[in-house]
């Protein structure tokens, strides 16, 4: 579920932004048409579209303001995921580079903090 959550958040915010832009245009056209139908004469030809574009502009701006923040969270989450993957890789490389300690007597592989060999009981020199 949380795999690639950063990319998912970015995709979700873009989808919601597109939907909000669509409804802003719809609201703007309706508002413009309503104003134009209420007013009379030459003024209606100017004020109607003016109100329409104002509503569209405000709607798109608000949509951008809201979704940009969510998109940024998605970007941050994506960066964190990449950092965690890099750290996991580095830890794995570090583990692979650790020298393996073996018992001088029987050759059994020893734990890092072993004082005695678990196989033959020989004391281990640190
Ligand atoms: Zn041993």
Distance 117 CA to ligand 1 centre (A): 5
Distance 102 CA to ligand 1 centre (A): 8
Mean of pLDDT values over 37-59: 89
Which pairs from 101-104 meet CB under 8 Å and 24+ separation? none
Whole-number average pLDDT of the chain? 91
* Neighbouring C-beta atoms of residue 115, cutoff 10 Å: 10
Distance 94 CA to ligand 1 centre (A): 26
pLDDT for the residue numbered 39:
86
Token pair of 26 as six digits: 């719809």
Mean of pLDDT values over 54-83: 95
Contacts of 64 (CB under 8 A, 6+ apart): 17
């Amino acid at each position: 579920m949380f795999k690639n959550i950063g990319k998912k958040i970015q995709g979700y915010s873009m989808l919601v932004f597109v939907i909000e832009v669509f409804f802003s245009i719809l609201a703007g056209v309706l508002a413009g048409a309503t104003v134009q139908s209420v007013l009379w004469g030459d003024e209606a030809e100017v004020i109607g579209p003016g109100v329409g574009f104002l509503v569209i502009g405000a709607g798109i701006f608000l949509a951008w303001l809201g979704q940009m923040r969510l998109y940024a969270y998605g970007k941050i989450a994506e960066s964190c995921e990449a950092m965690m993957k890099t750290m996991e890789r580095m830890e794995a490389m570090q583990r692979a580079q650790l020298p393996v300690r073996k018992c001088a007597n029987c050759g059994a592989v020893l734990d890092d903090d072993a004082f005695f060999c678990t196989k033959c009981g020989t004391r281990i020199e640190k």
